[in-house]
Chain A
Amino acid sequence: MTFSFRESLFRLQSFARKKPLDQDLAEEMASHLQFAIEENIQNGMPPQEAERQARISFGGPQQSKETHRESRGLPFLDTLLRDIRYTFRTLWRDRAFAAIAILILALGIGANIAVFSIINTLLLRPLPFANSNELAWLDSNRGLGGLSSLTYKIDVYDEYAKQNRSFQQVTAYMPFFGSGGYSLTGKGEPRALTGVMVDSNFFQTLGVKPLYGRAFLPGETAKGAAHVAILDNAFWRQHFNSDRSVLNTVVTINRQPYTVVGILPPSFDFGAAFAPGQRIELFEPYPWDDIRHWGNTIFIIGGLKPGATVQSAQREADLLMPQMRAAHKDWYSEYPTRVSSLSNHVRGKLRSSLIVLWSAVGLILLIVCVNLANLLFARSAARSKEFATRTALGAGRSRIVGQLLTESVVLSTAGALLGLVFAYGIVAFVSRQASLALPLLSSMKIDGATLLWALLVTALAAVLFGLAPGFLIASANLRAGLGSSSRGSTEGRHFHGLRSLLVISEVALACVLLVGAGLLLRSFLRVLDVDLGFQPSQTAALTISYDDNGDPKHRTPILQEILRRVRQIPGVEAAGISDMLPLGRNRSWGFQAVGRAYSRDEDNGAYVRIVTPGYIEAMGIRLLEGRDFSWADDRPDTQESVIINEAAAKLHWPGQDALGKEAENFTARGKTARVIGIISDVRQNSLEDASTPEMFLSYAQAGPEGSELIVRTKLPPEVLGPALTRTMREYSPDQPIGEFRPLQTIVDSSTSPRRFFVTLVTSFAALGLILAALGIYGVISYMVTRQRQEIGIRMALGASRSDILFGVVNRTLRLAFAGIFIGAVVSFIGGKWISSLLFQTEPGDPMTFVAMFVVFAGVALIAGYIPAQRASRVDPLVALRYE
């Protein structure tokens, strides 16, 4: 049916002007009849006969109108509108069914939309920088180890920038930020800022243009250049009330004048991409010469030249880095570099979790469709007479299928709309989880791509649950005809077999989900069960600042005084200070046992924490041997002391007692340090990675990077927080005070990605379980209704109520077990697929499978028991009279 443009226009017009056109036609036909009657009368017929003859030769007026309308308007649209009206009417009559169907669909589609928008944000959408496609990330040490292993020395960066041919430009930032290295003073209370030191071309390389002002200029990283800063958008909005006049003014940071030269656009969130869960407030072009003599300090990011790829850059780096090392013998290593796309660096690790999540909602959608197909089957069996009547009245098979499809489209559209509301809620909730250590999450929203996906999912659902049953019903219906009673006919059995099959597949799908969720949940519980090596409960951290005038000699008395005051707060049991907390930033230095030969390739880096006496006690770290630092031996002139963890003791003094031994390499040339204590391993970067060698050094003898005050107390955080702040404020009114955090929140933040995924997958599994239970209930309860008469006869013949009850329950369990069996087999085979996401849990974990079986059998039992009880209450007399 193809029309020319002109004709289509006419038809569309006619479609819109149905009423007047019908009126016009009716008048025309009336005048036609009048002409004919007049002519007949003139020919000598009596008036009555004249009219009769006129009507005969005119033919059926209704038919004429119908063919007129068909050639005039858009008949398929007419049909569609009629079907939709009819659908609304029937669905309104069957409100309970419609409500359940729409709710089920909304849950399924809503979950799909929400997960898609998570995946779209975290995985599919380009990173929020203009040049995101060309950007590459360089990791040293092939991407293994802590920050100090992964980063580069300034010299390496400078040399690589000069010699490489892969990148248009390379830039760098220093990842050792965080502990209030910047304090903003001047107006109001002093405030600690989280700032990042970047190279001057950082924003140009990423393709980020400041909202106001300018990016950094090439000369601004030179030694002695005037201090300038660029502000993060959120910080500018909060702290400066979006005041544009702050631009080009001078603020006091670390007692130095800094000119604010730029304000970043809201779309750029450094933390979201490079430090998930953290908000960076300030950017400074850093005079690299100041830290040139330091170790590995910066990460390198490069913008690829046209034609260059990550692979070609990798090949070049493989050749170039060893060459550069050969020319610079003083470098620590050859910097075996791993080049990856920035996108992959930011979110590559999430890929497998997200794909599992996506599969889980895909399963949910399948279960929803199977469930609805089942519901529709039950409904259409009840409506078989209606279809038979319509067929008898001339409706073709395609019309009936069309009608059923219209119904499923209307249902899934309604479901999708409600689902969209659910998804909006979920997305709004998730994007506000600022502490969730997942990249890019704050930029999550329902965008065009998500809506398109929603449309696709909706259409898919409509076809899946609508079309297949539609065809079946239409074909079955043509066989059935009007005369046969629907009950007990072959058609009924045909339907029932099919419905059982659907329920079994639904149960199997839900089982797979349940096992998957079970395995992830078990992994999560294992993670929570990990021995952290410290006790986060009843311990809190506060980032503090102090002014030692850059002189280590002043440090000890200041810290001693701070700790003395803090310990005086009633309820405080222990207090100590460390420069870095576990599960946060890290750095490592070389560590070697004196007198032991090390091979050249041996990795002898160890994490460094600089701590005060009392820190070990405050953290609840177990001291296995030896003693804590003390203020007495904590003098710069005495031999350095070091406390090491078990991992370091085992690695460097295998089979010996490390206590009292001497270590070097992190110390000044020619000096050694004595091991005065051995502590149990503390989880360093994440709960899931085993601890590697670590050393504690004393505040007086090494250079700390920031200071975290740790307090162990029985006081609730809301009492401790203000008390600590007050104490610190009294001691040094001009120093900013950072965030007060119970240690548990640090641990929670570290497990938050896993918690997030587990929560989602588990709720999907619960949803799947409920849907499967609903499916079982539906089919059994339908069966019981259909077999009322049979049950009545059996009871009349002497079957007891419990016979009937057990019979029905038995059938239910058979269905459920068939599904569970298939689901278990599939899960067992497919389990390997998620093994990379599991933690200390085997994909075939028997506990999980048994738990799944018990849960499912229990749910099936309940779902079957309700209709079974109804069956056993059937009164034989009533049942036999029924219908």
Chain B
Amino acid sequence: MAPSEPKLDLLQGTLDLMVLQTLATLGPQHGYGIARRIEQVSGDAILLNQGTIYASLVRLQQRGWIAAEWGTSDNNRKAKFYSITKSGRKQLSTDMSYWQRLTGVIGRVLAMQDEGEN
């Protein structure tokens, strides 16, 4: 894990964003549900160790963007359910527009480099 430390930062940020988006669209979910949903949507394109989602969840919780509560699932199993908060939604829209601007800029920069080389 140590050699990929710089990438991990970006990945962490993205994971937080994906978790927020999932909760915003799906409503309250438990950790497994969130992880599965992200896997499904990404179509196995990202390799997610499902366990790492819990670090992300506790982080978001500490920042007050999501709330957690123990409850019972559809199949009557005890599970901790997470839901997005008001400030979480605000953060999500900020992060989303930031992310879109960032990818846009990076895309343009990479395109420019292509031209320069030829």
Contacts and interface: CB of A to CB of B under 8 A. Distances in A.
Interface stretch (B56-64, B91-99, B100-108, B109-117): B56-64
A584 interface: no
Contact of B54 (A14, A29, A34): A29
B32 A36 contact: yes
A61 B50 CA distance: 10
Contacts of B36: 39
B70 to A, nearest CB: 9
A71 B49 contact: no
Contact of A34 (B1, B49, B63, B77): B77
Given A25-B54, A31-B77, A31-B78, A11 B49 contact: no
Given A6-B63, A58-B50, A59-B50, A32 B31 contact: yes
Contact of A68 (B30, B33, B58, B79): B58
Contacts of B6: none
A67 B73 CA distance: 26
Nearest to B31: A32
B50 A32 contact: yes
A33 to B, nearest CB: 8
A730 B54 CA distance: 98
Interface in A60-107: 60-61, 63-64, 67-68, 70-72
Nearest to A39: B36
A57 interface: yes
Contacts of A756: none
B55 A11 contact: no
Contacts of B80: 24, 28, 31
A67 B59 CA distance: 10
Given A7-B63, A68-B54, A35 B49 contact: no
A63 B51 CA distance: 8
B34 to A, nearest CB: 10
22 contacts: A6-B62, A6-B63, A6-B64, A10-B62, A27-B78, A31-B30, A35-B32, A35-B73, A35-B77, A57-B49, A57-B50, A58-B49, A58-B50, A58-B51, A61-B51, A67-B52, A67-B54, A68-B54, A68-B55, A71-B55, A71-B58, A72-B55
Given A29-B51, A67-B55, A68-B54, 4 more contacts: A58-B49, A63-B51, A63-B52, A67-B54
A38 interface: yes
B118 interface: no
Contacts of A32: 30-32, 35, 50
A64 B78 contact: no
A32 B80 CA distance: 9
A59 B31 contact: no
Interface string B1-32: 11000000000000000000000000000111
A27 B39 CA distance: 23
Contacts of A39: 36
Interface in A343-371: none
A25 to B, nearest CB: 7
B73 to A, nearest CB: 7
B75 interface: yes
Nearest to A6: B64
Nearest to B78: A31
A59 B49 contact: yes
B49 A60 contact: yes
A11 B39 CA distance: 29
Contacts of B73: 35
B53 to A, nearest CB: 8
A72 B62 contact: yes
Chain B: interface residue count, which band? 20 to 34
Nearest to B62: A10
Contacts of B33: 35
A818 B27 CA distance: 79
Contacts of A29: 51, 54
Contacts of A38: 75
Contact of A59 (B52, B62, B64, B79): B52
Contact of B58 (A31, A58, A72): A72
A98 B61 CA distance: 45
A60 B51 contact: yes
Nearest to B2: A394
A762 B24 CA distance: 78
Contacts of A60: 49, 51
A24 B32 CA distance: 15
Shortest 3 CB-CB contacts between residues of A and residues of B? A59-B49, A64-B51, A35-B32
Interface in A1-40: 4, 6-7, 10-11, 14, 24-25, 27-29, 31-32, 34-36, 38-39
A14 B61 CA distance: 12
A11 B58 CA distance: 10
A71 to B, nearest CB: 5
Interface string A41-68: 0000000000000000111110110011
A775 B1 CA distance: 45
Chain A CB within 10 A, most for which of B1, B39, B50: B50
A60 B54 CA distance: 12
A38 B36 CA distance: 13
B51 A35 contact: no
B63 A28 contact: no
Contacts of B79: 28, 31, 35
Contacts of B63: 4, 6-7
Contacts of B30: 31-32, 35
A4 B63 CA distance: 8
A28 B29 CA distance: 13
Contacts of B1: 63
A449 B30 CA distance: 56
A196 B105 CA distance: 89
Contacts of B39: 57
Contacts of A27: 78
Nearest to A10: B62
A399 to B, nearest CB: 13
Contacts of A57: 39, 49-50
Contacts of A394: 2
Given A31-B79, A64-B52, A71 B59 contact: yes
B74 to A, nearest CB: 11
B28 to A, nearest CB: 15
Nearest to A4: B63
A14 B32 CA distance: 23
A245 to B, nearest CB: 67
Interface in A596-633: none
Chain B CB within 10 A, most for which of A32, A36, A38, A61: A32
Contacts of A7: 62-63
A72 B63 CA distance: 11
Nearest to A32: B32
A64 B54 contact: yes
Contacts of A63: 1, 49, 51-52
B55 A70 contact: yes
A31 B75 CA distance: 12
Contacts of B64: 6
Contacts of B75: 38
A28 B52 CA distance: 13
A355 B58 CA distance: 57
A61 B1 CA distance: 15
Nearest to A57: B50
A27 to B, nearest CB: 8
A10 B63 CA distance: 9
Nearest to A72: B58
A11 B62 contact: yes
A34 B33 CA distance: 12
Contacts of B55: 64, 67-68, 70-72
A31 B2 CA distance: 29
Nearest to A59: B49
A24 B64 CA distance: 19
A400 to B, nearest CB: 16
A45 B61 CA distance: 35
Interface in B37-54: 39, 49-52, 54
B42 to A, nearest CB: 13
Nearest to A60: B51
